[in-house]
Amino acid sequence: MFESEEQKKRVELIITLLAKLYVVLELSADNCPVCHKSLTHDFACPIALAWSLLTEDQQGDARNAIRALALSIGADHSLADPLVH
């Protein structure tokens, strides 16, 4: 299916990034930028498809990674308040 190992790695990276976007949208009130639905995606949405390709363990890992990133950004006061006091 893939011509090289490099192509396979690219596809895996794209799937992983789309799956992480699924988690970001899950935590957000915004609509999906691809299928324009909130919380539920169109059956043909590539973001939902990428998510469905992950195992339950991979989905849990993606959720944990995105939530940890969100917490670390929120905990960084220099990012939360750009004004110098």
Give mean pLDDT, residues 40-69: 86
- pTM for this entry: 0.64
CB atoms within 10 A of CB 58: 14
Above pLDDT 90, what percent of the chain? 4
Share the mean pLDDT of the chain.
79
To which residue do tokens 């890992």 refer?
61
Average pLDDT over residues 18-39: 83
> Are the C-beta atoms of residues 32 and 45 closer than 8 Å to each other?
yes
**Per residue in 27-51, is it b (16+ CB within 10 Å) or e — as a string?**
eeeeebebbeeeeebeeebbbbbbb
